[in-house]
Structure 1
Amino acid sequence: MSTDQLRQFLLTSLRDPSLREQVLQAVSADAAALIAQELG
């Protein structure tokens, strides 16, 4: 994941309460990365 992709994911998660909750519930950094990967 590039820096720009990570930045976009973080901005999206700030605007989307459901996505933010998924990230907060992730049990590891790998789980959070998988959520980001699934979003593209």
Structure 2
Amino acid sequence: MQRIANLIAVKDGKVLLLQKPRRGWYVAPGGKMERGESI
């Protein structure tokens, strides 16, 4: 089973977002992790 997480990071009133290269969309940082995988 995979675990999926996203993060909303705010510092000094600014929000961290990533821009997707193909579509130009902005998204929150996140990712997937397999069972037994370390961080």
Class of the TM-score when normalised by the shorter of the 2 chains: under 0.3
Query: What TM-score results when the alignment is normalised by the length of structure 2?
Result: 0.21
Larger radius of gyration: 2
Comparing both structures, which one devotes a greater share of its residues to strand? 2
Task: Kindly indicate whether structure 1 or structure 2 has the higher relative contact order, using CA contacts under 8 Å at least 6 residues apart.
Answer: 2
Query: What TM-score results when the alignment is normalised by the length of structure 1?
Result: 0.21
